Amino acid sequence: MTVVEWPNAISPGLWPFRLAAPEQWSAVEPDEGLMAFLAPPADGFRANLVLFGRRLPEDLTLGEVAELALADDTPRRIIDPGIDQPAAPGGLPVAVRSSGTVVDGREVRQIAVVTEAPDRSPSGLRSVYTMLGTYLADRADLDESTLTSMMASFELIH
């Protein structure tokens, strides 16, 4: 019998990362994500950021992953049809999508930012990270800039 440790060269697991969050936000462990952050309550809502990570094949584009992150059974209106940027020198490739919907009579917006690590397993899988931010549309000036700052702070640990 052979003892196999994980992660390993065949199954490398997710690439390590870090992200900066405002001190007044609470970190929580989500059911399906890697980590989540909740803003202090404001106007009966808590803006939030959930970070997901998966090993995905190369033929699934970052834009497709972002669109899947926003897809659910709620009717949505596309706010930004999308931004796809290849990796800049020293940077990460990124796809951005945003949408809006109405929940309990209030307009809610979501931003999905997806990026990937340069790792590839022998089967072609790579680490893909989705950051999904949710906030009230009428608090966009404050919450959207905070969420985008958090998302921009995402970096891989080498």
Q: Is residue 5 part of a domain?
A: no
> Does a structural domain hold residue 68?
yes
Tell me, yes or no, whether 3 lies in a domain: no
pLDDT at 33: 93
Q: Tell me if 102 is assigned to some domain.
A: yes
119 located within any domain: yes
pLDDT digits (tens, 9 = 90+) for 48-104: 999 999 999 999 999 999 999 988 766 666 566 678 888 877 788 999 999 998 888
pLDDT digits 0-9 by tens, 18-43: 999 999 999 999 998 999 999 999 99
For position 79, what pLDDT does the model report? 63
Whether 47 is in a domain gets the answer yes
Q: Give me the number of domains the chain comprises.
A: 1
Q: What is the pTM for the complete model shown? A: 0.91
Rg of the chain taking only CA atoms, in angstroms: 17
Residue 4 lies in a domain: no
CATH code (residue 87): 3.40.1000.10
Is 1 part of any domain? Answer: no
Full residue range of the structural domain in which residue 29 is found: 17-156
